[in-house]
Structure formats: C-alpha cells, structure tokens
Structure 1
Amino acid sequence: MTTWYPDFLGNDFSYTTINLEPDDQGPVVATLVRHLPADASQSAPTDSAQPHFALLAVHGWNDYFYQTEFAQAITDYGGRFYGLDLRRYGRSHREGQMWGYTSDLKNYDEEIQAAIDIITAQHGQDFPVILYGHSTGGLTTSLWAARNTTQLAGLILNSPWLEYQDSFFAHYLGRPAIDAIARISPTKIISTSDNGFYQRVLTGWKDEDGPMPVHQPGDPFFEGGWKPDARFRHFPSFPIRAGWLSAVLHGHAQVAKGLQMDLPVLVLTSARSEITNTWNASQRSVDGVLDVDLIRQRAAHLSNHTTLVKLNGAIHDVMFSRAEVRAEAYAQVCTWIAHYARL
C-alpha cells in the first residue's frame, strides 16, 4: 500500500517516495506527487465525479513538478493528475548527487513504470493513463512510450526536446566527439552559458521591462511570477555533463529514425521561437529555449496519429504562459483527450 505525505505545494497535493535500484552513480529515489482535492478524496467509489483517466507528467531539465494550475485543470476535467520528479531532480535529489545526471535515458524506465504501477494499483489495472512530458521530459517520455505503447491511452508533449539545435558544442564537436568524451569522462562538465532570459520570463514582469501590459488580474505570468523553488530549479542551470549530453543525443537519433508509435500523440508548442542573446520583451511570448520548427519536423514522425498545436504567445513551457494562452492550452488538451485518447 502506498503511503502519501503532505507536499509543500499545498493541501491538495501529496507525495510518495519511490525507492529505486541503485544505478551507476549510487542509490536513487523518485518522487510521485498527486493532486487530490479534499472533496475528491472524500467521494464515494460509485460517485460520478470519480476520475476516468490519469495524467502522469514528467518535467524537463533543471526542473521539477510545480504546475499546480495545470493539475487543477486536469482534475476539473475529470482526470487525476500525477507529477513525477525523476531521480536526482527536485524532491528526488539527495545530498552529494549530481543534479539531473544520467548516462542513459532508459534509466528513467524504472520510475516511470513504478509510477504507473502505483496509479493502476490505486485506480484499477485497466485505468487509462496518459503520459505527459515537457522539454527533455518530452524526449524521455516519447522513447518510453515507444517501448511501452500498450500501457498508455495517449502521449502529450509540451515543447518536447526532440532534436538538437545548433550550439557551439554540438555544432563544432558533434555527437562522435561528445560520445568519446562521455566514454572517457562521463561526468566531465561541458561548458555552457545561461543568459537567464527564461528564468526572467518565469518570474514575472519586471520594472525594467516598461509598463506592464493589460492582462487578467492576478495572472502570475505578470504579477509575481510562478515562483520556481530555487532549491530545485537553479539559476544558472545545472551543469551539463558529457554522459548526460551523449544520452540525450542518442535519444534524438532514435527519434530521427522515426518512432512511428501506434498511439495518439498531442504536441503543443509556441507558434514561434526567438533564440537570442539580447533581451527584449518579446521573450515573454515565444519559445526562447528550443526551435519550434525543428520540434514540429520531428514530431511528425513520432506516431501514426499525431496532432500538432501551435499556440500564439506561448513560452517554452506553454503551461506557464499568460492566462489566455494557458486557457487555450488546457482547452486543446481536454478536447484532444475527449476525441483521441484511448479512454
């Protein structure tokens, strides 16, 4: 039986720790967080308000689960929301561990499977589960879904990192050189820079941005930001290590060959990207992290049933965009679940 403990996100959230097999870096755990409002937890088993699917969300690089509004939107639609902090991320990081490090994305199979087992033990073996991944989590969940299609009712990807865009270490070194470094010194840090623009976008409108635009009152996108926990989302970002980068590049290579899953897939992205080293306020309405054109090119080969949605004004994590964009994203997700997920 799974034991749940109060989570720091608030009264409607609780977590359980998943003990995993030690990997090549030592002992590890994962953390499963669930959204369960008090009124839902007190409902009778035959109540029509009982959930009819679960959504399991996997975060991206330098991240953890804290998308509380998205969780509420899924609950309001009749689902049960779970967020998974992978090993060495967020709630699952332990003292002395290298943040976010893995040498093989398949290592995450264990915690994803364990989370689904907990969900189906709670709701029934035939309970539909939709897997969701953001950014690097979108790559990890795509690869997992391709190997475990029959366990899922669908896959939702939020700005998934499916292809490596130009950067000095990928463009000038390339995968063979990164692989060679990873074989010799997998934990070697690959020097990168973090311009802080995305962190700035996540933490609300700043005085130096000029007059605040007209917006929905109380929208965290403008007023105060999303308050990412500095313990778990670092600025500058976690250091990138050769073994981890090699694992990601190998994942991209698998996607490039075409996964061609027999599974409904929804891909949400911003309508456009603007990747620059000069700050301007337009960073608050574009994907400033990944090239959305590359994402859409690769996404077309994920499955024989892929839905692509471009969201005007969305940022990299579309669920943290301004209020009207978030509302559209939630509507697109719910419509897709209603029409295409295998419930």
Structure 2
Amino acid sequence: MEYREDILGAPYEAAELPLAADEEGAVSATLVRRPVPGARQAVLYLHGYTDYFFQTNLADHFTAAGFSFYALDLRKYGRSLRPHQSPNFVRDLATYDEEIDEAVRIIREVDGHTRLLVNGHSTGGLVAALWASRRAGRGLVDGLFLNSPFLSMPTSPALRTLGAPAVQALGRLAATRKLPAPLNPHYVHSLHRAHKGSWDFDLVLKPAEGFPLYAGWLAAIQRGHRQVRHGLRVDCPVLLMASTASTTTDKWTPALHHTDAILRADDIAALAPRLGPHVTTVRIEGGMHDLVLSGEQARTQLFTELDRWLAAYFPPPAA
C-alpha cells in the first residue's frame, strides 16, 4: 500500500485499498489520513450518502486534540468511484465490513494506534453502528461518534412498513433498478459556497442532484434500519448528535441553514437507545444535517459537546 498526496493537498495523504471484485468488476476503497506524530489515539471517519470526505474543519479539530485523523471513501463513492461502477451501489451494508476492517487493521497494526474512535455521518453513521455491533467483543473500536446517523427513513412508520415488502422484492429481483427518488438539490446548495453556503467541495463527487437510487441499495438500507429497530449490541460508548429540528421542502427556504433537511432528527434521537447500553444523545440547536457544516453557533456547540465526551472516554494518554 502506497500513500500519495490527496486531492485536498498536504497534509492529507490517500492510499487505495484493493478489495474483492464484485459483479461490476474491480473494487477498491480509499483511505485518507492526516497523521499526528506520536499520537496513540485515532479517529476513522465514514461519510454519508452521495458524499466523500472533505470536512477538513473536522480533521482540524481532531488533530488539534491529539488524534491522528483517517477517513474512508467507501467503495463506489467519491475518490473510490470508477467509471464501470454504479455509484453507491451495494446489495448488503455488511459488504463495507471489508474496507472498514482493513482500515482498522492499518490504523492499529501498521500505524500503531492503540485507541480508535469511529465517526460516522448519515449513512456512514448507520454503517458504522452496524459494523460496531457485528464486531462487538473484539476490542477493535473504543467509541462511536454518530453525526445525524441514518437510522430511519424520513417517512411515517406506516409508509415505512407498507413499502418495505415491495422494496425487498424489487431488491432481490432487480437490484440495479433505478428508482424515482432524486435528491433535493437545495440541501447541497445550502452548503456550497457557489450557491448559498459557506463550504467548498467537488460537485462531481458530491452532486447537488445526487446519484441514482438503486432498489438493491434501498433494500439493504431497510434491512439495516430493521436491525436498529430490533436493537444492536454496540459494546463501546456512543455519542449520537442530531439537530433539534428538521425541514421537509422541495423549495429553497432559509430554514435549510439551521435544520436537518434530509432526515427526521426526532426519529434519530428516539432510536439512539437501540444502539447499545451506553449511548449519550445530544441535540444541536440550529444544526444542519451534516452538523460539522452548520453555522458557527451550532458548530461551536457540537465541538464543545464532543470535547466534553472525549474528555470522559478518550482522555489524553499519560506521559
């Protein structure tokens, strides 16, 4: 494995992680790192849906706190997406275990970190929680930090229940069928500096209209949600953060700048106790869906709460 300069530039490095091929051909993930010399603690970041790692303010905060920072662009996302692949597509969320396990091995065994925090946003939060539950008892992860994790569909319970059998059947019979569910572009517009936001990122890797929604992927998400509802067994401390409010709209509104415009924040918070026995839930006033990209006041609250939690569960190693 060889690191090269990342698309973000120094001090970020990236390495390709070759994975087992699937029905579409060769597959790989991308491990991005920003090491802190001598650090014994590390964080591994997992991005959301139609997303990739670009949140350098998050990495700045962790490295200032003495953590080496790592991020995975999962297979068929961002840096890892190849021309022959269907963006974001997997048939089972457990498929991601391969690249997460390999990233954790590198962080612990190759780079020598002794404590690991896994930080997942949105779909990455769901993936992280399911992975941590499957790896319970192995001592691979010492804590989870979940930023607006995708634990439930942003629809009513009745619609979720009624629609699930049809989606599961379609996922089995026509997994790559594209479903008519385009992403609302106003959320990305609320983030990007070229529109109405404050941040710079690649609109090819994170397009405002999103990528196609595949039946097999949606069926995999539904199965993950069912596992959460039935209860996971994450055995490390969990910090779950969500906004205090959500907005559902297909038009531009200033509320997009201070609410979760993708998921139902109340549903996320309600499901937090299903993750494991040791979960701390924090609601962020004025938080957007990706809380670390929220306005300054909300970001200040987020990082203050994160630091309080880290002081309890990830204190600096003794000299």
TM-score bracket relative to the smaller structure: over 0.9
2:166 pairs with 1:180: no
User: How many Å separate the matches in 2 of 1:267 and 1:236?
Assistant: 27
Q: What's 1:45 paired with?
A: none
Tell me by how many angstroms 1:173 deviates.
5.5
Matched, 1:323 2:296: yes
Residue 337 (structure 1) shift: 1.6
Bigger CA drift: 178-187 or 330-339? 330-339
| Poorly superposed stretches of 4+, deviation over 3 Å | 169-173
Amino acid at match of 1:25: E
1:139 maps to: 126
Please tell me the residue identity of whatever aligns with 1:95.
P
Q: Which residue of 2 aligns with 1:241?
A: 214
Give the SS at the match of 2:277: strand
**Residue 101 of structure 2 is aligned to residue 128 of structure 1:** no
AA aligned to 1:300 is P
Alignment of structure 1 residues 62-141 onto 2, 5 Å:
62-124=50-112, 127-141=114-128
Counterpart in the other structure of 1:154: 143
Contact 2:44 2:70 in 1 (8 A): yes
Partner deviation per Cα, 1:248-278 (whole Å, 9 max, x = no partner): 0000000000113221000011111111233
Q: Aligned to 1:144, what secondary structure does the other structure show?
A: helix
Normalised by the length of structure 1, the TM-score is: 0.87
Residue matched to 1:216: none
The secondary structure found in structure 1 opposite 2:11 is strand
SS of the equivalent of 2:146 reads strand
Partner of residue 212, structure 1: none
Pairing 1:303–2:273 present: no
Q: 1:272 to 1:95 in 2, by over 3 A?
A: same
Tell whether the 8 Å contact from 2:6 to 2:13 is kept in structure 1 after alignment. yes
* Unaligned segments of structure 2, at least 5 residues: none
2:252 to 279, 297, 315: 279
Does the CA contact (< 8 Å) of 1:35 and 1:72 recur in 2? Answer: no
- Partners of 2:314 and 2:165 in 1: CA distance: 39
Q: Which amino acid aligns with 2:20?
A: E
Which protein is bigger by CA-based radius of gyration? 1
What SS does the aligned partner of 2:21 have? coil
Separation (CA, whole Å) in 1 of partners of 2:111 and 2:126: 27
8 A Cα contact 2:44 2:118, kept in partner: yes
Letter in 1 for 2:132: A
- Which has the larger displacement, 329-338 or 312-321? 329-338
Aligned partner letter, 1:140: V
Determine the structure 1 residue equivalent to 2:192: 203
Task: State the Cα deviation string for residues 86-109 of structure 1 (Å, max 9, x = none).
Answer: 000000011121001000001000
For 1:10, the equivalent position in structure 2 comes to 9
Does the CA contact (< 8 Å) of 1:264 and 1:341 recur in 2? no
- The one-letter code matched in structure 2 to 1:136 is T
Q: Residue 232 of structure 1 aligns with which residue?
A: 205
- Cα drift, residue 312 of structure 1: 0.7
Quick check: 2:25–2:84 contact (8 Å CA) kept in 1?
Answer: no
The residue type paired with residue 155 of structure 1 is L
Residue deviations 1:17-55 (CA, integer Å, cap 9, x gap): 00001123321000000113xxx55xxxxxxxx223100
Change (3 A) 1:173 1:96: farther
Q: Are the structure 2 counterparts of residues 109 and 171 from structure 1 closer, same or farther at C-alpha, using a change threshold of 3 Å?
A: closer
Q: Secondary structure at the match of 2:235?
A: strand
Separation (CA, whole Å) in 1 of partners of 2:225 and 2:297: 32
- Change in Cα spacing, 1:165 to 1:31, as seen in structure 2 (3 Å) is same
Letter in 1 for 2:12: F
Partners of 1:257 and 1:246 lie apart in 2 by 17
Change (3 A) 1:72 1:181: same
Amino acid at match of 2:204: R
Matched position secondary structure for 1:180: helix
Amino acid at match of 2:205: F
